[in-house]
A and B are shown apart, each in its own frame.
Chain A
């Protein structure tokens, strides 16, 4: 049996090897380096939205069709965050998001290939455009993030996957609703609920989702304007309260068996060998939040990032607020949010309605300094709460990195004590 110190050395060694391997490695990693766009990157890219539809005016939403993709827009996401509790009281936070990123407007590639694909005479061009077009051709890609905050064990695990919209590797459809990337998916079931499945070697989720509220339209009837520049807007709705039940499986990642074996909480049942150790399944239930957004615009030239809050209060009300900021950290007047009262009615909030005070900071191992504790007050609602991360390190190891984590909420609503739980997303703090 390895001693703890040896284990650490072995792991460090493995990482060094991995780094060296990547350095001398191949062609495939050359291209891997620039293949992992995140939402911020898409928004900051400044790439042309020419040929894409733009979110410029209020539209009529129709469900369930609008749960499906809107391929005429450049980007789109399905953002699930939630809180799970096992029977023995163990708590987890989770994030499962799917991003659709169109790299070229529909029809663009066929036009181009007809004019430029071949040097020979037109006959070869025909054959390329015709029967021999590869099924791998795609004009959009999907990126998905998976994260679990294992509150009891004070662990945060995240994984990013990416795939092109081809050959069934990833995609989205509206009827029946389904969005997927590899084995990760959210799909409408016959009973009208959704089933979410995602995971990595450390955690796997298989959850049934039952929306408790109809979709809430954010901004001006679903049109969410992000800056003064025309088209820098999106269509944005949320489902702030979704009942969840299902299971979470703790797995063992290769090379990590030594540290995971032996930790065995009561109420877990072994469900077979996997990855060198026993996988443990837990029945869980809880509460989730869906954010849906699509558009073609970018952030404004001076907008550097945002802090996004999604707080679910114990009385059934919910607060969503995003605070945009410029490169100096100053708040942007286009920041906005929505208050959903106990009856499910939505009230739009603008920048001046909400006061946010950062109480503490946390610096990531890579040197990014994130706000880490907040006091939010909305005087017009009589709301005054603080949001405290359940774990300081909930930074996703994506490119670029961002922080998205489970927070505990406590404070007063109209003078009465209120508690709750929530998710906070902090984007634009870590460099590339």
Chain B
């Protein structure tokens, strides 16, 4: 029996390859999106981890301090007293070569040599073992220099101004060879570097590094006398622990000794919310894929009602029919998932660029050069695809199993049942919607719960759509009583709910998601725009270009600052220092600002009345801080909380005098009076100045004068408030490019689903069309009938999607974004967003109808009738 079953199944599927292919594409797109997002986020994380490992090497612990770094004398005293801890000084910063950002790492190779000898001290042969393992030799830089025993390289490293080493691959990319001179910029200050050797090891994590001597790094980064960290290696035993404890007790206030990488790795946590968002979007694509498979499989079942009935009459059991349908779906799922995996890997490479650009904009500089393939995550994506296909087949399989061993149910019976199911789905939708609301009300911080609520909401839309479609089509048919074709068209939609319902539901889902996301993005954009206009009270802003946020090397040289601020035409100015300092709750970014009264109005304290605001500013001047809303959300703090920060003289508590609205920095920070910052961190640097011009002064004249003042000293970025506004908005748009890409993917999947449903429907009602044609319907009329029906369905999908989309937007704005980032966003709805959604719904539906319409217009009446 089963051979007959398989043969029947294969024949059927092979005769209708288009449908099969569409279902495959739909599922593959869903899996591909998940895979791509996994790859992109994993690659970014991996690149970050590798860059950490590449810098810290085999160290176990590190000594670090605040934004101003460590005094180099601390290293000297540790090197003299504790050589067994293998101390190695490091100074890190960001530099640019051309447009490309690199991490500059200043090292002392001699300290590193002592450390590696010390680190091998578990036995006198250990150094030999290391050499035998080929480790140091493999890392020997340029070939041909071995004859000089490496001494010549050490000579160049220590004595040649600008000596630097980079990965061979980076050198190739930049067109450099050993001996090349190139320009390197640190905090806008240009220097000449010379490539004295290439790191040909090809080890991952090295591509983004420039190595230079610690002396050179201090000079380039303008950090004379400072170090970023001291790496240590302590044996992992009681003695090592004791040595570390003893050292920790001797460290000055504000200096931390901790396991290596712990501090930097907290950076990674900040990108977690971002990654969650991406994953949610990719799940949405798979959800749409689920509907698609459901559509394909249920049509495959519906089309074979007769076949199944015959097979049942020939002795096939219900179980065999179920097994057949499930197996078909499983094969479809496996094939689609594997296709999706391949496509996802390709798509992932594209997404990596988008993801790393977003991370660089919002978080930290990371050079993603290698594609990480997270095996576990990829297996999950494939599994999700297969499970989706099986889930989608459960209902149709059940349906197929219920077919009696006769000539099958009458279509009318089937449609009656579909209408009943549609009504049941409405009930389910109500439950989903209530559940979604309950989840939102019952949880307050869980991002996952927020996403679950969002999905329930979208499912509710999908559930209610078929019933809506049926109701609207019936009502429409009654309204169009005088037009037989219109009545036929609408009546046909209403009476074929089993086919049209699912397609319209999945389109509605995609449209709702699109409305939700675009309204959310639009609201965010408007809020940002309003905030920028309010915040930017000055006319001109001067800062130092360069990668990374709050990097100490991004500071305006004192003499440049003096020259800039004495340019005529400036009424008053505000100096700001950006820094990232440690706290028990992870790194906190600080903007230390010397506010003028005019500038204070630019800060919007959340929920403070005038008098309270005055008191808050009073407290601010006396050492309290203002905390950005996103940070306050993340740390669960509010006005009156106290925030502990690691100052240059140890941990100190700062009162939070108020919360302010901020979108400038993804993780939020604190605002502090610059005098307070200088007092506690001893950092006199200035990252940016904002200049307010005197009345009647032409900004262009001042800009020219500013450029002259800085020329030859430092590259500076001068922007007018309009420039900054435009720049901020373009960064914002860039950040959300990835979101847009994902919802277009979801809409694409839905359109493919619709086409697939229409094709199936068109095949099924071939006879109906044949009869209509024989009654005088022209080929064009048949095409118009089909197009009218699909456009109608697109409209219904839109109507169902609008309220759901708006609810989803509200959920995204007030729940998801709040929980993910802590941003306070005002809900802004623009007509254009709905118009876009309408356009998308109609266009997707019309496009989906083109091929079926063309097919039926082309077919002869005889062919239509013969098919039955």
Contacts and interface: CB of A to CB of B under 8 A. Distances in A.
B128 interface: yes
**Candidate in B159, B224, B712 with the most chain A CB atoms within 10 angstroms:** B159
B191 A27 contact: no
Contacts of B149: 34, 37, 41, 44-45, 432
Interface in B152-167: 152-155, 157-162, 165
A27 B84 contact: no
Interface in B183-216: 183, 189-192, 194, 199, 201, 203, 206, 209, 211, 213-216
Contacts of B213: 136
A168 B80 CA distance: 9
Interface residues of B, number: 100
Interface centre among B127, B141, B231 (most CB of A within 10 A): B127
Contacts of B222: 132
Most buried by A among B161, B209, B235: B161
Contact of B115 (A32, A200, A275, A432): A32
B54 A254 contact: no
Given A29-B139, A138-B158, A168-B76, A397 B124 contact: yes
Count class of interface residues, chain A? 35 or more
Interface in A123-140: 123-124, 128, 131-139
B119 A18 contact: yes
Interface string B49-78: 000011111100000000000001100100
Given A24-B53, A24-B203, A163-B111, A34 B140 contact: yes
Contact of A23 (B72, B133, B152): B133
B135 A23 contact: yes
A27 B211 contact: yes
A121 B712 contact: yes
A120 interface: yes
A399 B137 CA distance: 11
A256 B121 CA distance: 9
B465 to A, nearest CB: 55
Interface in B217-243: 218-219, 222, 224-225, 231, 235, 237-240
Contacts of B112: 28-29, 31-32, 35
B79 interface: yes
A276 interface: yes
A31 B211 contact: yes
A413 interface: no
B224 A26 contact: no
Contacts, number: 281
B697 interface: no
Interface stretch (A102-110, A286-294, A316-324, A328-336): A102-110
B857 interface: no
Interface string B109-129: 111111111011111111111
A12 B215 CA distance: 37
A53 B728 CA distance: 62
A182 B83 contact: yes
A256 B191 contact: no
A117 interface: yes
A132 B224 contact: yes
Contacts of B214: 134, 136
A366 B128 contact: yes
Interface string A172-202: 0000000000110000000000000000110
A254 to B, nearest CB: 4
Q: Indicate the member of B123, B148, B181, B206 with the most A CB atoms within 10 Å.
A: B123
A324 B800 CA distance: 96
Nearest to A364: B128
Contacts of B160: 112
B726 interface: no
A124 B712 contact: yes
Nearest to B81: A183
Contacts of A276: 237-239
A182 B742 CA distance: 59
A33 B150 contact: yes
A34 B110 contact: no
| 4 shortest interchain CB distances as A-B pairs | A34-B150, A26-B57, A31-B109, A33-B136
6 contacts: A101-B151, A132-B218, A132-B222, A161-B114, A254-B122, A256-B123
